[in-house]
A and B are shown apart, each in its own frame.
Chain A
Amino acid sequence: MIVCPNCQHHNHKQATHCAQCGQPLADAVHCVCPSCGALNPIDGQFCQRCLTDLTVPVAQAPTVPRPEPTPEPPKVDSGKKESAPQAQKPKTPERPARRKRRDCKDRSAQREIAPLPDPAEGREPKGLEGGLAELGGDPLAGVTDVLPLETAVALPHRGAPPSELRSEHEEQEDAHLFSSLASEPAPLTAAAQQVLPPLRSKLPRWLKLVLSLLLLLAAGVPSLSPGWLPGPLTPSADTSKLLSVLSSLGSDAQILVAFEYGPDHAAELDPVAERILEQLADQGVQIHLLSTEPAGLGLAQRMLHGSDSLQMGLDDEQIQVLGLLPGREIGIRTLMRSVEGAFRLQTVASGPHGTDLTHTPTRISGFDHVILVGDDSRILRAWIEQAPSTLHPLAVVTAQVYPALVPYKASGQLSTLTQGPTAAIELQASTSRQITPLGATDGLAALFVVVLCVAILANVLPTKSNNTR
């Protein structure tokens, strides 16, 4: 029995046109097993369910009557066909090519097939709803991977999208997929390839190269442009407060600076960190550096002994590296309880450059200020959560993390919150020191132009269908 792709009427295997609607059956992809009624590929030899030879002509194949249409739920109705089954309106082929398999609810009533699988049995493909939600256009697909917060914990579960995001098309996809699983005992991998659509549409290679080229061009702007666009006229409130706090410190002040960023954000935060350390060193402040990450400690040591990429080496008599605090919350909490307990300073009393560490405060309250320079919201949150309520760190963070910490600034848990790239530009504008912040004004403007082009291209270029069946 050949299933008509238009009205799903079951026709004889030798039929060339549908007996009900007149649609040519050349495009049919499914046939019905005369023995068990299971759907099989049109060119299959044996029924996948009962192994009946489909090529043997059946003398009297039962004509399965089309049942009365079940009352359609409101959201399924979209003006498509599903009119009275008795009407045999020859459908003219003015509509575009329809999907081959539709409305399995009726078919399930007209043949004996296995009942739909119990989800508890685990046959329901996991992540299917999430995948189909992406077909329906979940804008969070692909974006959440680059966000700083633990979106898996906090974001709405993508397996349960709001009902208005699901279309009739997806409802029918779901129905057919369940029916397919019930009636076609295909191998698991084959079923997965047929049933599960690719979760993300793959971008064409040429498009990826175009996007990459645009981004590379924009990334070259800070290095090559002479600075067409103006910078900020006045520093922001937080940057001003940071500057005033630093300027007000005396030569006997003790400052703790936590380098909580890695080399992957060194380009963004090194200029600001270097600028802050220079300012503090100029005022004769004792600076103590530490990190909860090995890479951060490496960057701190780089500040101490100087580096090719830094503007200048710093005077190591006022700056010492305390050490590493592994374990994130464990290390930070140990530090908050006792600085001496965290670093065992008596065994490192003579630092690597012969400095005297005996004047390092033994408790966190002994420091005048704590400055956090970070790129990871989890580590910065750990600092804020483990710090006592009397400690209000000054935070300099990347643009990625900045919005995620705004509520902590609003609640007063952070004294200041500045953003690396713009803070560097503002510091350059407000002081006489020369620093070369990357991502300068021209570069960010170029980035905006590129992202705008991407947004336009995304909506202008035709999208490739995700249906790979």
Chain B
Amino acid sequence: MLVGIQNLFAAIPATYLHSVGTWLAAILTLLVLSYIVGYMPLYRLAGHLFIGVSSGYAAGLAWHTVLWPRLQLLIVDPAQYWTYGLFFALGLLLLTRGIGPLSGLADLPMALLFGVGAALALVGAAMGTLVPQVGVAITSLAPSSFGGGATGWALAIDAALLLIGTLLVFASFHHTQATEDRPAPGLRLLSRAGIVGRKILLVAIGALFSGALISFYTVLAGRIQFLISDWGAAIAGMRF
């Protein structure tokens, strides 16, 4: 039966599928963009459709690329791949999360997920971000280490500015304030530094924001181009 369905689909002319697909994509695009004019029902319709399709697509991929190969190995050689059986059983327990009285069964697989994930995040953040970034921030500021001459001086100044800027931004994350009972001149200095750090942070956020604008604009331009060229061609083709 599966072969029959597949053959049926293959029998449909590709141009027809292409046309139908283009029209469907255009309609779905317009449904989502109707959010701009504030008309929500069509937008919600597209949103629900997307949730359904994306969930089904993700589940299908998860089965075929992660679970099914390992299940095959477990069936063929259970002695060697017994751990897969253990984790498949835990996975089935995980699926009970959300079923009221059985929800507690999912605690064990969740604990494994969180434990391993936390360990990876901890070591990754430490060895992958903290150490390398601190290492590159604390660097020699001697112009000679950058090649000497005017270029060396320029790069040394840049490195100094980078180090000072990073420290000032770090100071801006500090929230303890001095009080009359606890006069702390150091904290006041830290607060002043934090104020400057916040300004530097805003420069970075401005750059991030401009990048975000470019990205989102490019996506919108892509949709507009699809509507103009692809859908326009489909509409023009209908006239014949």
- State the A residues within 8 Å of B (CB): 139-140, 143-144, 146-149, 154-157, 160, 162, 164, 205, 209, 212, 215-216, 218-224, 264-268, 294-295, 297-298, 308-309, 323-324, 326-327, 329-330, 333, 343-344, 346-348, 375, 381-382, 384-387, 398-404, 407-408, 410-413, 420-421, 438-439, 443-444, 447, 451
Contact = CB atoms under 8 A, between A and B. Distances in A.
A411 B57 contact: no
A378 to B, nearest CB: 11
Given A162-B195, A403-B207, A323 B133 contact: no
A401 B61 contact: no
Contact of A147 (B22, B61, B129, B208): B208
Contact of B18 (A308, A330, A344, A385): A308
Interface in B98-122: 113, 116-117, 120-121
Contacts of B218: 265, 267-268, 399, 420-421, 438-439, 443
A412 B132 CA distance: 9
A217 to B, nearest CB: 10
A165 to B, nearest CB: 10
Contacts of B173: 154, 156
Given A215-B220, A386-B124, A411-B135, A400 B214 contact: yes
A266 B226 CA distance: 12
Contacts of B125: 385
B211 A205 contact: no
Contacts of B127: 385
B228 A385 contact: no
25 contacts: A147-B209, A148-B212, A164-B195, A205-B38, A219-B221, A223-B228, A265-B219, A267-B222, A294-B54, A297-B65, A308-B21, A323-B66, A347-B70, A375-B215, A398-B211, A398-B215, A399-B212, A400-B212, A400-B216, A403-B204, A411-B133, A411-B136, A412-B136, A413-B128, A438-B222
B175 A157 contact: yes
Contacts of A222: 221, 225
Given A146-B212, A344-B70, A403-B211, A268 B230 contact: no
A399 B69 contact: no
B27 interface: no
Contacts of A402: 211
B19 to A, nearest CB: 10
Interface string B173-213: 10100000000000000010011001001101101110111
Interface size class of B (residues with CB under 8 A): 35 or more
A323 B66 CA distance: 8
Contact of B62 (A268, A294, A384, A387): A294
Contact of B208 (A266, A294, A403, A421): A403
Contacts of B66: 323-324, 326
B78 to A, nearest CB: 15
A268 B175 contact: no
A160 B175 contact: yes
The secondary-structure label for the interface of chain A is helix
Contacts of B97: none
A394 B87 CA distance: 34
B65 A323 contact: yes
B157 to A, nearest CB: 16
Contacts of A411: 132-133, 135-136
Most buried by A among B57, B124, B204: B124
A223 B211 contact: no
A146 B209 contact: yes
Nearest to A212: B36
Given A267-B219, A324-B62, 19 more contacts: A140-B205, A147-B209, A148-B212, A156-B201, A162-B191, A205-B38, A215-B217, A223-B225, A297-B65, A298-B61, A308-B18, A309-B226, A330-B116, A399-B211, A399-B214, A410-B136, A421-B214, A447-B214, A447-B217
A404 B215 CA distance: 14
Interface string B30-49: 00000011100000000000
A294 B211 contact: no
Nearest 9 CB-CB pairings of A with B: A267-B222, A385-B128, A385-B124, A323-B65, A439-B218, A400-B215, A399-B214, A294-B58, A347-B69
